[in-house]
Amino acid sequence: MIHPTSVISPNAKIGKDVYIGPFCRIHDNVTIGDGTMLDSHVVIGSVAGEVHIGKSNKFYGFCLVGGPPQDLKYKGERTKLVMGDGNTIRECVTISIGTVTGHGETSIGDGNLLMAYCHVGHDDRIGNNNVLANQVQLAGHVTIEDRVTLGALCAVNQFVKIGKHAFLAGASMINKDVLPYSIAQGNYATVRATNKIGLERSGFSENAILNINRAVRILTKGGSTIDESLSRIGDECDKIPEIEYLVSFIKSSDRGIGL
């Protein structure tokens, strides 16, 4: 169904069983996958941008998806937003396309929930099955991996990376990378504990949770440098994929870890 009050470019590609409610606007260079729903007053795309949306996504009132970057260096270049399947984008969410000085592309994976008034900045990379609660604000070039939860009113500085299965408490200000599997909170956010409940709900084994918790405690309670802590983790934790990933995340961090 397409409501007669909506304005859709003849160059847009609309899949099967797509519902487009009243007063929506779909620009050129937009592809919308099968089974997607636009509630009302939804804008997809921009004058220069390119937007690719997968299947079975839901967009609620007054969200702007694929708008131009909020970056003074942007001069109308043809950049992208790419979104996967099964995402829910609630009221008044804004998502910018990429920039030529960044990746040229903002990307969002599958199964994410972005609650009302969230902002996803240019060149951000969001993985799968994440929850961004109301009014989460992401600057440009942010990376959020998989199964991350950000509480309401969190703000994330540019170039920050948040690891898998992390939980950010509400109203946190995040200016450094956030350790995978952790609970972080504060202004500025630091790791407070292991996200044990989240790991249990995600099906992690008892042994994996035990080793992750040991590694997190070494990093946060050991009173050592990062290099010394990594050496201890190598000696005291099992060589399992979860620990290898955590160590790799720390070693690849450009902004440093909020500990």
Active-site annotation holds for 122: yes
Among 33, 109, 140, 198, which one carries the catalytic annotation?
Answer: 140
Residues found in the chain: 259
Active-site annotation holds for 140: yes
Which are the contacts of 227, defined by CB distance < 8 A and separation ≥ 6?
A: none
Among 39, 110, 123, 124, which one carries the catalytic annotation?
Answer: 123
Only one residue has tokens 């829910």, namely 88
**If we measure between CA atoms, which residue out of 101, 96, 71, 102 comes closest to residue 81?**
96
End-to-end CA, the chain: 51
Only one residue has tokens 């996200």, namely 195
Cα–Cα distance, 113 to 232 (Å, whole number): 37
Cα–Cα distance, 167 to 171 (Å, whole number): 12
Q: Which residues participate in catalysis according to the annotation?
A: 122-123, 140
